Structure 1
Amino acid sequence: MDLSSPDKSSQESRFSRLHGLIIGVNKYKAVHRQDLRGCVNDAKSMRDYFHSIGVPPDNLLCLFDEKATRKGILDAFESHLIDNPHIRTHDPIVIFFAGHGDRMLAPKGWHASDGMVEMILPHDASYEGTGSDNPSDQEVGIRRTNTLDTDKKYVYGIPDLTLAFLLYRLSQEKGNNITVILDSCHSGSGTRGEIQSRNSHDSKAPPIPEDLDEQLRKSLPIDYPSELKHNITSKQTSGKLMAPSLETHILLAACQNDEQAQEIPNDDQESDEMSCSGVFTSTLLSELRKCDLETTSYTTLLRNLLVARSEYYRKTFERTALQTFQCEGRNQDRILFSVQYAISKGKIALMPTRDKSIYRVRVGRAQGIVPGTEFGVFSDNMDAMAPPIAILVARDVGSVDSHLHGIEPNKLQELPQNAYATIIKYNDHSNGVRVWVDQALRQDEFWRNILTILESLPISWADSRRSHDVELISTGDGIELKGTHLIPGELATSHFFAQHLGAKRLVEILTAIIYFRFHLKHHNQEAPVRDKIEMKLRELNEKGSWGSIVYDPTGNDLFGKGVTDGTVVTLYPDSNKVFGMELINNSSENLYPYVLYYDFEDYSVGCLYEPPGRTVKAPLPAGKSLTIGYGSGGSPPFQVDFTNPKSNKEYGAFVLFVFGQWVDIGYLQQPSPLEPSSSNGGGNLKRKLHGNHKTTVWDNIIVRAEMIKKK
């Protein structure tokens, strides 16, 4: 059976619930905005594609040219999507826009990256009215227009912040199974003969008013983002701690913000009128038609798009400028247009090399891999208890990737197409977690079997009760686990686990705790940028702006000398206060930062910040800073609170990882293994990581913290 051609009736059943808003603008009302030629074609092609997979015509609202006014688009967003009673929670929703984009200075009070606002341009973006000539068109010299009324009302594009508010509201009403597709760009205008870019800037546009779309934002049923502050930043599992713009939707975009989205003439011309298509949309549709919609994730789709893009540019490099296709959002491992996760989620992808006996994986030294680490190879149709198909060993280990060989050198490894790898044995315990076990447990057969299973993990058995990380003590009917607060030998936390939990569950808990401590201990001994990175914790004050609440830092850096000297930072939990961070890069490297919080109370690892996608530019460039929780960083503020409400004192660690390229840090994050719902502890390095086989900078900074209840 051809797996790329799933049963059409099942497809039509699933996609009969999909709703969409499809917008294409070729013609612009103002003369100074050059008309485009391929946007309506792209929108119609996208519409036809969704019809072909079973989406009913009435589910798609299409706005072309004169219908795609600013008011028309915003009204359609509300009436056809947000307020549509036929859309149920988690039904798939698609929003497609092809047309001009623009960038303008952000008004005072708007927090925007580099002080600029990006926007999509509707048909009527410019002055409007019938009073006299449009000032923006006075020097065009093509034709006279009457688009300026007596009060010189200007129709602005729809800014990214307005779209963020609308998407947040839509996700609250209908769930976050939302895909946004943008084939437009915001960089400087430009054309290349027959090649045209989808951007347009009005140099005579008046500044954006601070209250633009204020009434629309005030119509939100909740206060964005102040409610996010409480929902996202309370001590939850890692998925809760992230920017709303990453959580509400998946974004597929034509290019980075300093590149140009281009449209090119179609090859199959059947008339004298030139027909065009967007490079991004045509490539996207081609890949969508080829893929298996029942199993393909957004991550896989982006990888296919980038491969197809490379092939395309090899043929047309003299005609077109480079576009780096984008995929952003927290749920990129989901199956396309679904809330289900792909089969490959949580597994390490095996990539063939020219040498048939060697495979490449995207985990390396930064993830604790060393030469000799063993990987088991499995396939999706195997029994859960079956042994691995093959065992591969890491030989050539880079910063964020490794080459795997068979145990027998140069022997060809014939593996199934759907094979994946997991780590089964580290074989290097020199930097592992040091565990001391009391004699009573060593002599008990039940616990001896558990300890034998744990030997494949990155641990070493301590001979004495000095300078160790974890100790296991028999309590008669179970064990007491004591752990250090980052200082070997200084025990600070204690948990009890009863034997009646069973061997399987106890192994899961202990495995997650060991990985928690292993990743916390692991660091780059060369420390290439550690002394050139600053990390500051600041309390934030609320203030009203732009129809919502924004935050400004106040007071001193609460980390103090915790970053430079490694001293323990004391914080006082207060549910009425919110906090943010500032990262400062004084190095010459462009960095991708990740901020995690390791909670010693429940052994969970939550993410406070991660870059929005694998193809975005480095969020922390050389010589620049990035704010988290305020400013233009794109993340909500967070709270400092006890995990256990009855606690008077708890411990944790803020950890900053920086890489010279994007990586997937899913292998680091985990829910609390102490909760009954935890299934595997989340500890294994089983998530796909993105990177090339080359040396890339990586480093980390750890700030130890104690939370003390105020008396």
Structure 2
Amino acid sequence: MDEYLRKDLHVPGEQIVNLRNKFATRSAIIREIYALAKNPSIRKDDPILIFYAGHGTSAQTPDGWETGREKISALVPYDTYGVDEHGPILPIPDRTIGGLLHEIAEGVSGEGKGNNITVIFDCCHSGSGTRDTDYPPMCLERGFEMDENVSIPSSLDENIWSNLPEDRALSVVSGFAMYGTRSHVLLAACLEGEKAHEENHRGKFTGALLHTLRQVETHKLTYKDLMERITEKMKDQTPQCEGHYIDRTLFNALVPSTPRTIFTVSQKGEEYTLNAGSAHGITSGAQFAIYPSHDFESQDIPLATMIADTVGAFSTGLFFVADGVEDLPTPCFALQTLVGKANALRLYMPQSANAGSVLRDLKAELDDVDYPVVLREDETQTDLSVYEHVGRVEYFINDPLIKSFGLQKLFNTTGAETRYIHPILRSATHFFWHFNRSPDVSALRDSLHVQVHVLQRDDEAELDLYLRPPYRTHGENLNRDGIVDVVADDVTAYGVTVESDFTVPLHVWAFYFDCSDLSISDYYQPPAFGVRGEAPLPANGKLTIGYGAGGGQPFKYYLRPDQDLDVGFIKLFVSTRPVDLSSVVQRSPFGTEDGMERGSRETAPPLVEDTWDTITIAVVQRKHPLDLSPPVT
């Protein structure tokens, strides 16, 4: 879990407390959970994760604890049943956990951290603690029954849970299955009374959880959906998802991630080929870990490390980093671990930063970051500049195309600490790489015609599948030489039409690059983009985006408060083969709130041997219409 937080979700190490083995004592666990409530750097509704993997137990309900059950559930810290100055060290009951969560969420005076709290328990609350004979060797239960001579006193941790409202106290004591709770979402390894298992000292539930998380985008999946996927993988225990907000996206969509993209590697003779190329964003020098199976786990040791050499449109030649590697199985699977130098963010920072400036600290840390960045002395040859001003950090745009439309900097600033700056630079790296990348030779765009129109409801037409009047284009084409100039009223709907002169169908993805906040949203993705996915842009046909049969939602534009001008870009990726570009999408790092004739393909000469292309359209958004009237003479 620690590795997932750091590498996949890019959580800074200083924001993670990891208590393991002898450090996971009762007092340490309670102290660190309680510290979350008092941590001034955690703002209201920031995502908080509490993860426990270890033993659980059950005990007789203490006198006076009105739970409606004969037993309560409890976590078993490392030093349980030891002795300290207060006497025997007991497990941590569910009521204590409830009190701590209430303190984090609401605080004593209602100034808590909010309800964006995720609690994950990979343990069970009853069982023998011995190896289960129904399971293979090294398969253990994660729980045990308390000694009958040991009881939980009714006053245990009363200082923690005594401030709970009556209804809250009743809702947190049912064995960690906290039905109706509003302070958090609980993910538990199994039902009460079931056995949570581990294999090779790793929890099976944690393994399934991490495997699933690495296949998805966290900001597009709900807790309920996540647990349904995990449950399908686990036949011997029933994971549980409890809480009022189980239909909320993971971490309330404030910790975005990209799914783990796996590529197939094939072998012909002594040559190895990756089934992805420049169309997928692969560049020379990219590094890959090679595995025998598509469903590998993070702790698995790769068979080899390979580097991208010759990069084609849809395939890439690979070579081994080290000599003496035995033949790999066919097929095998590649996970990209490092990008090529071409992906790097070109960054400028002023050289005159004062001693103690955050920019000096930032420069020192850039050698060890997990995203590619290159410092340049010529500011005009960079993508982004970083300046410190009155305790804040500002981000200025240097891309000449974006600046040509009048946008000079990102709308938001950040605090003057490197932990706030790194997420911006990481997102900027992703943003500018995909914004600027195009094939070396443009073979498609001259025969593709892109129109942008205002959309209006057609009240006289047949209702669509949602029982609403469909959209129709209205007025003239707004795309003039690759520029669309609109009044951003947050009301008017727009759609895109792509027409093709080619006699072969084409695959299309459409994205909107927001140059004010570095977000990339998908305007259109093909209904099916697997190996046999049908191309949505027919031969000699058209694809409608945001209206008609093409799919996708209409889009509109708005200006932020105190903003008179904004600039974004609609970028289409078009290819002769299906390509999965779902990983291009990213949320803003600032956490903002807010039948066609196909022609005679058999006899026609091939278009181009497997190619791809891009088309970019600027969208300039103003508060008032642009005055195009001729000057008075």
Instruction: Compute the TM-score of the two structures, normalised by the length of structure 2.
Output: 0.50
Instruction: Compute the TM-score of the two structures, normalised by the length of structure 1.
Output: 0.44
